[in-house]
Amino acid sequence: MQRGVSRRLRVVHMTSVHSAVDPRIFHKECRSLARAGFDVTVVGPYHEDTAADAVRIKSVRKDRSRLTRMTRTAWRVYDRARREGADVYHFHDPELVPFGLFLSLCGKSVIYDIHEDLPKDVLSKHYLPPWSRPLMSWVVKGIERFACGRFAALVAVTPSIAGRFARINPRTVVVHNFPYADELIAEEAAVPWDRRHQSVAYVGGITVQRAIREMVAAMALLPDSLQARLELAGPEIPQEADSAALRRHPGWSRVRHHGFLDQPTTFRLLHSVRAGLVLFHPEPNHVEAMPQKIFEYMGAGLPVIASDFPLWRRIMGEAGCGIFVDPTNPSQIAKAIEYVLSHPREAEEMGRRGQMAVAERFNWNSEASKLVRLYEQIESELCAA
């Protein structure tokens, strides 16, 4: 941008992995930037070109296999984004790093939004041979060090991720993936506790590492007198979790798998149950994670049955809304579910405390202001150039 130009920045968000209407990318970041007056487009997998909430959506086709997604889909995203002629390119996936570097070399301001601690994540990838994971982690860390110092800014989803990059790129900003409090705590969404189902919910990716086997096994351990159900909302069960074996398990008779749900339907589901489950295994990339589902459960007024990680104990323990278990122990999980469902007054009070914490602290409003300030800094620099 030239000095004296009054228009706001033209911004393109890029993703080859997530949907173009992903909750963090579209509903939070893009909408917040558009409300702040920026010209915003998101390029990513979707079924059509459209516009919503002052954000243009440019769709690309997403390939099915991992390899083609990392190559052909990523190229489609870059090619379509490049043709937008934006001032700032904000990308969300590691496979887009090479394209981000090229855009930066072409004089564009590029922001990398880092959702995962990738070197730690590689150590848990089931599709990589175990012997290769430390080497791949080391390679990934080297690529990050080379690339991330060359971007205009980095946006990290947790403080632990940001801590790895602060020396590499001094413009590293933590933007937590907290929910919109008003969408979860709206008066019309409230459901009296005695009208909620005798159910618990898990929302998100359904994998072995996120305890799908233990959740199903725990349901089989609940007493027959407790009419309990697990409401499971997420994509199809992956091959490594052995869907057929899960469906043969006695606990599956108490599971209802809804498949993938959009955000409004997810929130309605959460307001109909009595607890939320987040039982990640203690993988390197999990223990310092801050999954969005934790704060969505809290915002919906649910007690949270969670893995006993120190960070999660600080967040939910201090709020007084968590029950902490060994995520690999179905018996502990079942006891926590039984307690919540058989002690409705205590469970409701836990839910209220968690909801208050979201209303006061763990919500998107403060995070949006940090993102907008970052863009205003970049805009000021471009206008002065």
- The answer on pLDDT for 6 being more than 60 is no
Amino acid 128: pLDDT? 85
Q: Provide the 10 A C-beta neighbour count for residue 145.
A: 14
Average the pLDDT over 20-49 and give the result: 96
Amino acid 362: pLDDT? 95
Which has the minimum average pLDDT: 33-47, 177-191, 298-312, 327-341?
Answer: 177-191
Structure tokens at 184: 């979860």
344-361 pLDDT tens trace = 999 999 999 999 999 999
Amino acid 251: pLDDT? 96
Could you identify the residue written with the tokens 């709206």? 186
- The answer on pLDDT for 101 being more than 60 is yes
Amino acid 366: pLDDT? 85
Amino acid 66: pLDDT? 82
- The answer on pLDDT for 331 being more than 70 is yes
Amino acid 7: pLDDT? 61
Amino acid 90: pLDDT? 98
Closest Cα partner for 91 from 171, 50, 30?
30
67-83 pLDDT tens trace = 898 899 999 999 999 99
DSSP 132-198: GHHHHHHHHHHHHHHHHTTSSEEEESSHHHHHHHTTT-S-EEE------HHHHS-GGG---GGGS-S
Amino acid 184: pLDDT? 81
Amino acid 384: pLDDT? 86
Is residue 162 within 8 A of residue 174, CB to CB? The reply is yes
Cβ density class 95-114: b for 16+ within 10 Å, e for less: bbbebbbebbeeebbbbbbb
Amino acid type, 236: E
Amino acid 188: pLDDT? 62
Euclidean distance between CA atoms 62 and 255, whole angstroms: 30
Q: How far apart are the first and last CA of the chain?
A: 8
Residues 21, 23, 26, 27, CA torsion sign:
positive
Amino acid 2: pLDDT? 43
Could you identify the residue written with the tokens 């206008």? 383
Could you identify the residue written with the tokens 């104990």? 313
- The answer on pLDDT for 17 being more than 80 is yes
Cβ density class 317-354: b for 16+ within 10 Å, e for less: eebebbbbbebeebebbbbbbbebbeeeeebbebbebb
Amino acid 141: pLDDT? 93
Amino acid 262: pLDDT? 87
Could you identify the residue written with the tokens 């409004």? 264
Could you identify the residue written with the tokens 């209407």? 21
- The answer on pLDDT for 10 being more than 90 is yes
- The answer on pLDDT for 4 being more than 70 is no
CB contact set of 339 (below 8 Å; sequence gap of 6+): 323
Q: In the structure, what pLDDT confidence band is assigned to residue 64 with cuts at 50, 70 and 90?
A: confident
119-171 pLDDT tens trace = 898 888 878 888 899 999 999 999 999 999 999 999 999 999 999 999 999 99
On the 0-12 / 13-18 / 19+ scale of CB atoms within 10 A, 135 is exposed
Q: Is 55 helix (H, G, I), strand (E, B) or coil?
A: strand
Within its chain, how far is the Cα of 359 from the centroid? 19
Pick from 127-131, 180-184, 272-276 the range whose average pLDDT is largest.
Answer: 272-276
Structure tokens at 373: 């300030």
Amino acid type, 65: S
Mean pLDDT, all residues of the chain: 93
